[in-house]
Each structure stands twice: as structure tokens, then as C-alpha cells.
């Protein structure tokens, strides 16, 4: 069975979306990524990653309703599709399988 391959950035973006909730917009995704990494991803790089993920069917986007908080502007909302969830699951399974035996049970090991 063939699985969708994800780059490191794509995996992190998908995980950030999943951590944020069902429907989220780019600034929240960027904040979530910043929470876990010391390096901030530019909004342009994030949008490029989101566009690639959407072209591959791993995320969906749509325009939300206008709100007074945003001065009548609409947000582009994003969610991970079923295919995106499968891709994340497979990528995490692969990483965990590869790390088994390299990292000790207490997190210490060859890489510690």
C-alpha cells in the first residue's frame, strides 16, 4: 500500500493544525508552530506549505464568515482531511519505528 510522503515542514504544519482544532486559520497555525520551535516560520512559507498540502488533498480551506472583530474581513479557514490524518499517522508510525531502540525507554540513548 502506498502512503503519502510528507516533508518535515508539512508534517509539522499538519500536526499544528490538528493541535489547534477542527477549523483554524494561518496565524493560529503559525503561533502553534512557534510554541514548539524556537524558529518562526514566515507567513509566506506557511501559505506555500498550506497550498501544497491542499493541492495534494491533505487539507481543505474555505472562506469563513465576515466578523466585526476583523473589520468585516473574512478568514480563510483550514482543516486536515481524512487523507491528511492518514498521512500524519503513517509518518508518525514510521518515525516511532525508526526511533525504537535508538532512544532508551527513559528518553536517553544514543541521541541523548
CATH of the domain at 15: 1.10.10.10
Cβ neighbours of residue 83 closer than 8 Å, sequence gap 6 or more: 4, 57, 58
Q: Is residue 66 part of a domain?
A: yes
pLDDT of residue 2: 64
Q: Is residue 89 part of a domain?
A: yes
Domain of 69 in residue numbering reads as: 8-98
CA 96 to CA 54: how far, in whole Å?
A: 26
Q: Is residue 19 part of a domain?
A: yes
Q: Is residue 56 part of a domain?
A: yes
Number of H helices, E strands in the chain: 4, 3
Q: Is residue 52 part of a domain?
A: yes
Q: Is residue 109 part of a domain?
A: no
Find cell 500524519 and name the residue: 88
pLDDT of residue 39: 75
pLDDT of residue 23: 79
Q: Is residue 2 part of a domain?
A: no
Q: Is residue 106 part of a domain?
A: no
What's this model's pTM, rounded to 2 decimal places? 0.83
Q: Which residues of the chain are modeled with pLDDT < 50?
A: 1, 112
pLDDT of residue 102: 77
Cβ neighbours of residue 15 closer than 8 Å, sequence gap 6 or more: 88
pLDDT of residue 104: 62
pLDDT of residue 40: 80
Total structural domains in the chain? 1
Amino acid at each position: 500500500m502506498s502512503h503519502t510522503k510528507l516533508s518535515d515542514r508539512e508534517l509539522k504544519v499538519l500536526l499544528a493544525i490538528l493541535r489547534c482544532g477542527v477549523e483554524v486559520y494561518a496565524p493560529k497555525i503559525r503561533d502553534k508552530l512557534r510554541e514548539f520551535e524556537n524558529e518562526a516560520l514566515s507567513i509566506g512559507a506557511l501559505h506555500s506549505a498550506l497550498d501544497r498540502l491542499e493541492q495534494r488533498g491533505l487539507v481543505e480551506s474555505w472562506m469563513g464568515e465576515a466578523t466585526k472583530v476583523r473589520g468585516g474581513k473574512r478568514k480563510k479557514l483550514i482543516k486536515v482531511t481524512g487523507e491528511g490524518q492518514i498521512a500524519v499517522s503513517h509518518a508518525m508510525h514510521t518515525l516511532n519505528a525508526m526511533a525504537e531502540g535508538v532512544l532508551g525507554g527513559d528518553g536517553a540513548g544514543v541521541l541523548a
